[in-house]
Amino acid sequence: MKTHTSEFKKQIKEMGRELDSIISYSLNNVPITISTEQINSVTITYQGALLKSIMKELDIDSNVYIPPKTILNYKFGLKVNGIYEYINYGNFIVYSVEKQEDTNSYKLICYDKLLYSMIPYEKLDITYPITIRNYINAICNKLGLTFKNANSTFANYNRQIQNELYLDSDGNSLDYTFRDVLDEISQVTASCICVNVDDELEIRYFNDTNDTVNEEYLKDINVNFGEKYGPINTIVLSRSADSDNIYYPSTLPENPFEFKISDNQIMNFNDRSDYLPDIYDKLNGLEFYINDFTSTGICYYDLLDKHNVKIGATTYNCLMLNDTINITQGLEEAIYTEMPEETETDYTKADKTDRKINQTYFIVDKQNQTIQAIVNEQSNQSAKLSQFEISNGMITEQVSSMQTTIDETTNAVVEIENKVTQTITDNNAQFEIINSTLENGVEKLKNSLVTIDVNGISVQYNEENFKALMTNKNFVVNDGTYEIAFFGYDENLQKTIARIKELETERVTAGYHRCEGFTDGLEDRTGWFYVGGVD
């Protein structure tokens, strides 16, 4: 809650309250203060959601021109017992100024210093691995902000980021901004990240104010309360388009009400289950009523304040996520909290952790531009692996099995592997089978490789021992380095021929065919001759 007195809370709802606004800034090192004489209206607003970074906006209609990039401070005043009590809303940066010729005034749009994070993410001056807390500190140093929690503990503050996640392996942009990164850190820390009135970047958690406002603080129109959200009792971490989920706690509640975090780059690896307990600790039990109401003005609630609204005999517990305070001659405040996106995980297909003997996971690695799907099953004697990987310019599929066996001849423990691999690039496709057997204690590998490219289809057995190549003109079989057979059009002879070296004759029932040598002009050749007759 913003600092205020009990008299403030009492007076703000009273008939005849008197308001004031003060804007102070510095121009050319000269401090300037303007008040309601020069200010026509002020609107303070923020729009947030669970586990996101949230930036405040200040819109001013002023008779005084204030240049862009000026940093100004806004205070809202209420006359209490004859003197004004002010609430400090903090500092804002003038983002844009527009002259309104019809009213001869200036419309200023200002944001708090989270605006500094709305720039492309750049390499930080850090070494990996680095803790979450130090990483945030490095971001703050880069942005020119002070980190309020630099020396305090918060959820997952000491987890380590192993390497750069928001630039590719060459250090090029992946189109993240620092604001995007802060959003991900909000999820990791189970908090909302914001800038406070002292211009510090803050890891903010829910604040139980135990404060209640009643009908006297509400207008008699637009007062809506919906269903209750929560209580949250399950946390789900999801990656790869919600296809790969883990959950916490390990024993699911009878009626799980989950909060799902999807595709967080920091919590994207097989240690992601380590982040869950801290996140669960912060979110477990969170519940609030969906609401949308217009108030006559409360003004002292802050982001993530949990408070109550009592109407008649009904008390609604609410959470501040969205707030708009409009100050003109009068005061009006619109508060609303929307239903967070509801998700429902199929827990039969999810698990508690990725670190198991049998693994099934799907990883999107933006840094190395790969997508990997793995199913891995292991036992004492065998291991099976099915793997599918997409990288830039290549798709690879592989199914392999490894078996541990005892060779009967030598009694030695031997591992033999069978593997099938299919690889597709932009100019060829390959299909390879490796088969491993034991013969007299020695592992024998047989390898077949089929390659398809613009030159044709080639089949290779045990690498160079046997190779066949079929093109659109001919079919050639090689054994080692020399030709065994040729069928088709011979470019050298410019003829369509069949050529088989060292071919043995074969008996056929319709007569005899005999292979004999003959001379065709000056060339010695071999041909098949039908002798005919009956055997």
Q: Which residues bind another protein (CB under 8 A)?
A: 13-19, 214-220, 223, 296-297, 311, 328-332
CA dihedral 341, 346, 349, 354 (to 10 degrees): 40
C-beta of residue 55 within 8 angstroms of C-beta of residue 110: no
Q: How far is the CB of 311 from another protein (least distance, A)?
A: 7
Measured from the CB atom, is 40 or 134 closer to another protein? Answer: 40
Q: How far is the CB of 15 from another protein (least distance, A)?
A: 5
**What count of other Cβ atoms lies within 10 Å of the Cβ of residue 434?**
15
Q: How far is the CB of 37 from another protein (least distance, A)?
A: 8
Measured from the CB atom, is 297 or 340 closer to another protein? Answer: 297
Residue whose tokens read 């097989």:
270
Q: How far apart are CA 374 and CA 269, in angstroms?
A: 13
Measured from the CB atom, is 87 or 286 closer to another protein? Answer: 87
Q: What are the residue ranges of helices labelled H in 250-371?
A: 276-283
C-beta of residue 364 within 8 angstroms of C-beta of residue 269: no
Distances in Å between the Cα of 472 and the Cα atoms of 39, 428, 486, 489 are 83, 16, 13, 9
Q: How far is the CB of 223 from another protein (least distance, A)?
A: 6
Q: How far is the CB of 293 from another protein (least distance, A)?
A: 9
Q: How far apart are CA 109 and CA 62, in angstroms?
A: 11
Q: How far is the CB of 195 from another protein (least distance, A)?
A: 29
C-beta of residue 48 within 8 angstroms of C-beta of residue 101: no
* CA angle (519 as vertex; 518, 523 as ends), nearest 5: 130
Measured from the CB atom, is 194 or 218 closer to another protein? Answer: 218
Burial 483-511 (b: 16+ CB within 10 A, else e): ebbbebeeeeeeeeeebeeeeeeeeeeee
Q: How far apart are CA 455 and CA 74, in angstroms?
A: 73
Measured from the CB atom, is 310 or 473 closer to another protein? Answer: 310
Q: How far is the CB of 108 from another protein (least distance, A)?
A: 22
